[in-house]
């Protein structure tokens, strides 16, 4: 499974569970309309709001031995410091743990 396929699987399951979820292409696009514009470096692949309480979440999706970049880690740490649900997921189950508040970027740092 590719990273994009896993992102879509997670997004579809979160939506099926009633959460709001959007998939982001944070890569820099250079067109005549968006030259130099775009999301902040490190913006996660998925973001949304829980259906139960509207709490925001960010999910960075990786596959295999993929690791988040320093910019992605900084972004998720800032989210964590501001009480936003966040984390890195290598599976659908881990993404659900993030949205449920049972997994954060701190879990990644503890496993270094």
In order of their start, the domains of the chain are 3-110 (3.40.1350.10)
- Reference 96, options 1, 12, 5; nearest CA is 12
pLDDT attached to residue 40: 87
- Model pTM above 0.85: yes
pLDDT attached to residue 32: 53
Residue 33 — left, alpha, or beta (φ > 0 → left; ψ -120 to 50 → alpha)? alpha
Q: Please give the radius of gyration of the chain, using alpha carbons only, rounded to the nearest integer.
A: 14
pLDDT at 75 over 90: yes
User: Which residue did the predictor score with more confidence, 27 or 77?
Assistant: 77
pLDDT in tens, 12-71: 999 999 999 999 876 555 555 554 567 889 999 999 999 999 999 999 999 999 999 999
C-alpha distances (whole Å) from 28 to each of 35, 41, 82, 106 are 8, 9, 26, 28
């Amino acid at each position: 499974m590719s990273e994009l396929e896993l992102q879509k699987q997670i997004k579809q399951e979160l939506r099926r569970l009633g959460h709001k979820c959007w998939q982001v292409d944070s890569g820099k696009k250079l067109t005549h309309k968006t030259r130099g514009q775009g999301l902040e470096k490190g913006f996660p692949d998925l973001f949304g709001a829980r259906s139960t309480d509207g709490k925001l979440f960010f999910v960075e999706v990786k596959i295999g031995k993929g690791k988040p970049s320093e910019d992605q880690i900084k972004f998720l740490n800032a989210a964590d410091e501001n009480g936003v649900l966040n984390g890195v997921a290598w599976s659908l189950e881990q993404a659900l743990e993030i949205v449920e508040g049972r997994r954060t970027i701190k879990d990644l740092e503890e496993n270094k």
